[in-house]
Amino acid sequence: MAPAGRVLIAADKFKGSLTAVQVAEHVTAGLRRARPGLEVEALPVADGGDGTVAAAVAGGFARREVRVTGPLGTPVTAAYALRDGTAVVEMAEASGLQRLPDGVLAPLTATTYGTGEVLLAAIEAGARTVVLGVGGSATTDGGAGMLEALGARFLDLDGDPLPPGGGPLRELDTADLSRLDPRLRDVEVVLASDVDNPLTGPQGAAAVYGPQKGASENDVAALDAGLARLAHVLAEAAGPDAGRDVTAAAQAPGAGAAGGIGFAALVGLGAAFRPGIEVLLDVLGFAPALGRADLVITGEGSLDAQTLHGKAPAGVAAAARAAGRPVVAVCGRLTIDDAALRGAGIEAAYPLTALEPDPARCMAEAGPLLERVAERLAADHL
């Protein structure tokens, strides 16, 4: 048990029930109920997926909104975050599953065009560094839509522009990136993702994530073929030397992120791939906050095997452990054992299911349950 000091709450959202900001609010309430007057600092975090812009805004960035093209081609209002020349762009804001009507999936035709429009808006607003958080996408178009919005051209055998989506990529004949907005040359793009899949193949964007977006077995095959065609045509367009780099980029970690938008960012925007949580911790100023803390509380909705592979709590715990700060976690449910937790640098975890075993009630009553969990945590660790 640590002496009562300053607590840093750096937790991700509880998907489907609480935003990262709400998680911090409820944990704070529970801690202070148990320890009145406790110093608590909240720094909501994200790993590049949905909720990334909200975390940046909570960390002091300005929220900007822009009207762009949604994944089905209809207009949507997307937000990005901006501070001191750095923009945080969350592709799910423009091109995510959250932008589809209930019950509607479009695995072959959903486009990332709107994400390119958000990038343009950020650059026009003065961004010179863009953190592109990817995750929660409705798309498998290899980022072709995004590049098209930025000035690229993708043509079929007749010289006509391809229709939107990953399905038509099988008909791609020529690609031209020479017309990309020249301002991109002066912008540093960081691809922030917790996904390290390649573009194509059995571990690629279509095979692994296509079914989550409504793709049938035949759709997956068509999408994978389209992504392979995109990589081939872009390699040909780049010439023999640069073409080898394009081919290598298709198999690089992160190329398959968000339906292949990672590949487009790497090849078309010269992006550097970094684990999403590492990028966001840097952008949000986690290190100074960590230096002020005696105990760190992290967490997310489901603390499971995936958490250990680049999700927000693992990134927070790794940074805290390097600084010699103890870490505990809160979560909706817990499916990994104590040894795995300790291996990740987390001393203990407090799931809501320990108080309410019914998952549906846990989701519905997440806020009050989280406050009770925080009281227990305070009794154990403060």
Range of the domain at 350: 6-43+285-381
The encoded tokens of residue 367 equal 């806020």
pLDDT tens for 305-348 read: 888 887 899 999 999 999 999 999 999 999 999 999 999 999 99
How far apart are the C-alpha atoms of 327 and 346, rounded to whole Å? 5
Q: Based on the fold, state whether residues 98 and 209 are members of the same structural domain.
A: yes
**Amino acid present at 84:** D
Do 38 and 59 have their domain in common?
no
What's the CA gap between 76 and 82, in Å, rounded?
19
Alpha-carbon torsion, ordered 66, 54, 190, 301, to 10 deg: -140
Confidence of residue 4 (pLDDT cuts 50, 70, 90): low
Domain membership flag for residue 1: no
Taking the CB of residue 127, how many other CB atoms lie within 10 A of it?
Answer: 26
Are residues 317 and 263 both part of a single domain? Answer: no
- Distance of alpha carbon 257 from alpha carbon 366, whole angstroms: 30
Residue pLDDT, tens place only, 253-299: 999 999 999 999 999 999 999 999 999 999 999 999 999 999 999 99
Q: How much is the pLDDT for 263?
A: 97
Cβ atoms 89, 118 nearer than 8 A: yes
pLDDT on residue 10: 97
Cα(266)–Cα(372) distance, integer angstroms: 45
Give percent above pLDDT 90 in the chain: 91
Q: In this structure, are residues 170 and 108 in contact, taking their beta carbons and an 8 Å threshold?
A: no
154 and 220: one domain? yes
Model pLDDT for residues 200-228, shown as the tens digit of each residue: 999 999 999 999 999 999 999 999 999 99
Q: Residue 62 carries which side chain, given as an amino acid letter?
A: A
Q: Under DSSP, is residue 231 helix (H, G, I), strand (E, B) or coil?
A: helix
In order of 16, 53, 134, 369, the CA distances from 302 in angstroms are: 11, 21, 19, 15
Q: How many CA atoms within 13 Å lie on the side-chain side of 131?
A: 31
Domain end marker among 277, 298, 314: 277
Residues 254 and 310 in one domain: no
Widest pairwise Cα distance in the chain: 72
For residues 256 and 117, membership in a common domain is answered with yes
Please indicate, yes or no, whether residues 246 and 363 belong to a single structural domain of this protein: no
Residue 174: CB atoms within 10 Å = 13
Read off the CATH number of the domain in which 314 is found.
Answer: 3.40.50.10350
